Amino acid sequence: PQGSEEAKAFVNAFLKRSMPKKKDEAIQDILTRKAVVLEHYSKKKTKQKRKKTKGFTAKQRREMRLFEIEPEQQRYAIFLPLHELWKQYIRDLCHGLKPDAQPHVIQGKLLKADLHGAIVTVTKSKCPSYVGITGIILQEFKHVFKIITKEDKLKVVPKLNNVFSLEIDGFISYIYGSKFQLRASERSAKKFKLKGTIDL
């Protein structure tokens, strides 16, 4: 029945359970109003951590010899089709390499382009034995190029202290290896300065 002590006690207990963060005085103050808005506290859902797919570590890649080219595959003729694909890729990238194209625009695009398949020549080097090495770039790492020569020899040429020349459709570009020590994936997003001090 209305007005009974049991009902009053029930309401007070119910409100205290429903609004645990409020003090008794605040609850009594709320009771004087016409409407009571009950608070709802939802349980925090524990987020399930997604398992990231881990790739191979550098040590595992070395043990599995993922980047090694088998001796029977180290033949210049095998990679000539790769060079033809690279030339078409550069022509598309530079919109045809027309004679009236601005050299600095092409140079900027070549700096960010993928060089796997390009024929390069070491034109200058602090180590004379590297000068004159010409071949197709098979692999590009942060600090070295792996190049296959016409003599079917796989050469590992460091970028540091070497200058490489690259020719396509009469356009010759020079790559200063000391300024080029990046992985191919990082290089595509890097902003290169076209002016500055140039050294080996």
Count Cβ atoms within 10 A of the Cβ of residue 12 and give its class: 0-12 exposed, 13-18 middle, 19 or more buried.
Answer: middle
39 located within any domain: no
* Position 6 in a domain: no
For residue 176, tell me if it sits in a domain.
yes
Question: Whole-number mean pLDDT of the chain?
Answer: 81
In a domain, 197, yes or no: no
Amino acid at 137: I
| CA atoms of 27 and 39, how far apart (whole Å) | 12
The DSSP H or E segment spanning 91 is: helix 80-93
Cα of first residue to Cα of last residue in the chain, in angstroms, is 98
Is 83's pLDDT higher than 60? yes
- Going by pLDDT thresholds of 50, 70 and 90, the confidence category of residue 182 is confident
Output the pLDDT for position 132.
93
Of the ranges 3-12, 106-115, 128-137, 186-195, the best mean pLDDT one:
128-137
* Paired tokens of 92: 């598309």
With a CB cutoff of 8 Å and minimum separation 6, the contacts of 84 are none
The residue among 187 and 76 whose pLDDT is bigger is 76
3-state secondary structure of 46: coil
16 located within any domain: no
- Does residue 68 have a pLDDT over 80? yes
Domain count, the chain: 1
Provide the domain limits for residue 111.
Answer: 56-187
The amino acid at 145 = F
What is the sign, positive or negative, of the torsion defined by CA atoms of 181, 151, 117, 107?
Answer: positive
Report the alpha-carbon angle 51-52-53, nearest 5.
Answer: 115
Q: Are 107 and 145 in contact (CB under 8 A)?
A: no
In the chain, beta strands by DSSP E? 119-125, 134-140, 144-149, 154-158, 162-168, 171-176
49-75: burial string, b at 16+ Cβ within 10 Å, e else: eeeeeeeeeeeeeeeeeeeeeeeeebe
CA dist., res. 99 & res. 103, Å (int): 10
Q: What is the CATH number of the domain that holds 167?
A: 2.30.30.210
45 domain residue, yes or no: no
43 part of a folded domain: no
Q: Is the pLDDT of residue 162 over 90?
A: yes
Report the range of poorest mean pLDDT among 108-112, 176-180, 188-192: 188-192
Evaluate whether residue 17 is within a structural domain.
no
Q: How confident is the model at residue 200 (pLDDT cuts 50, 70, 90)?
A: low
Specify the pLDDT at position 164: 94
pTM above 0.75, yes or no: no
